[in-house]
Amino acid sequence: MQTNPTSPISPTSPPYTSLVAVGDSFTEGMSDLLPDGSYRGWADVLAARMAARTPGFRYANLAVRGKLIGQIVDEQVEVAAAMRADVVTLVGGLNDTLRPKCDMVRVRDLLTEAVERLAPSCERLVLMRSPGRQGPVLERFRPRMEQLFAHVDELAAKHDALVVDLYGAPALADPRLWDVDRLHLTAEGHRRVAEAVWQTLGYEPQDAEWHVPMAATAPPDWVTRRIADVRFARRHLLPWIGRRLTGRSSGDGRPPKRPELLPYEARA
């Protein structure tokens, strides 16, 4: 059951007055597309809910698609720490695990550096075990991903951070919650992530069953699946592999969509 996000403030609602989101495409909001061609995503949905309960609520989203954990540390962490927000969300490192060559020791060290800088700067640091769908492309990288998530758990325990376990949520493995690029969540997927973070922060659930899988539907036939596979390979997989091999990123030169911690305003 869902409740009205503009309902009166509950006396038990956490007193958070600001949010800064740090990370890559997952936190930027791809592929939750808005009419103007920009992306919304779970962090924007979460901010809107928090703002509806807290007058003057401020929000910044520093996340940029394609960023590796080293770039997140270099470009976002110090900026976020200086904002001194009540809540900071940090999701990073997954792009590194998907590279052909990945130094997991360095990834863990950089994630540690990010957490050690951000944790003292905010009232509540939120980390995540990112969602992962099934499929042969991601399967080969799964051991790295699980190493990353184990380190997230260790850091959270050491620095009193919250962990949102999206990786263990059955619903988010459903391919229907993933865009045609098979790397980014749909609007419904992002809504469920926002709900998961919302509840982890201590707010009253608006959807207590966000983690429950969608009702089963008849799968597409063999021909339809093969056509989709070919389109996916041509439009998304091959360009993605090309960027990985050449060291390029879809976020090169792109600024964050909400670079300043300002009063929240919904986008069209």
Rounded to 10 degrees, the C-alpha dihedral 229/231/233/239 comes to: -160
**Domain membership flag for residue 42:** yes
In this structure, are residues 88 and 121 in contact, taking their beta carbons and an 8 Å threshold?
yes
**Domain membership flag for residue 41:** yes
CA triple 13-265-211, angle to 5 deg = 50
Tokens of 3: 């409740």
**Domain membership flag for residue 208:** yes
- Would the CA dihedral through 154, 185, 61, 164 be positive or negative? negative
The range of the structural domain enclosing residue 162 comes to 18-219+256-263
CATH number of the domain where residue 35 is located: 3.40.50.1110
**Domain membership flag for residue 87:** yes
**Domain membership flag for residue 160:** yes
How many domains does the chain divide into?
1
In this structure, are residues 118 and 88 in contact, taking their beta carbons and an 8 Å threshold?
yes
Tokens of 196: 């998961």
Residue 9: the pLDDT is: 44
Question: Could you read off the pLDDT of 56-97 as tens digits, one per residue?
Answer: 999 999 999 999 999 999 999 999 999 999 999 999 999 999
pTM: 0.84
Q: Within a 13 Å sphere around the CA of 249, how many CA atoms are in the beta-carbon half?
A: 17
Burial of 56 (0-12, 13-18, 19+ CB in 10 A): exposed
**Domain membership flag for residue 231:** no
**Domain membership flag for residue 246:** no
Question: Could you read off the pLDDT of 186-228 as tens digits, one per residue?
Answer: 999 999 999 999 999 999 999 999 999 876 766 776 666 566 5
**Domain membership flag for residue 148:** yes
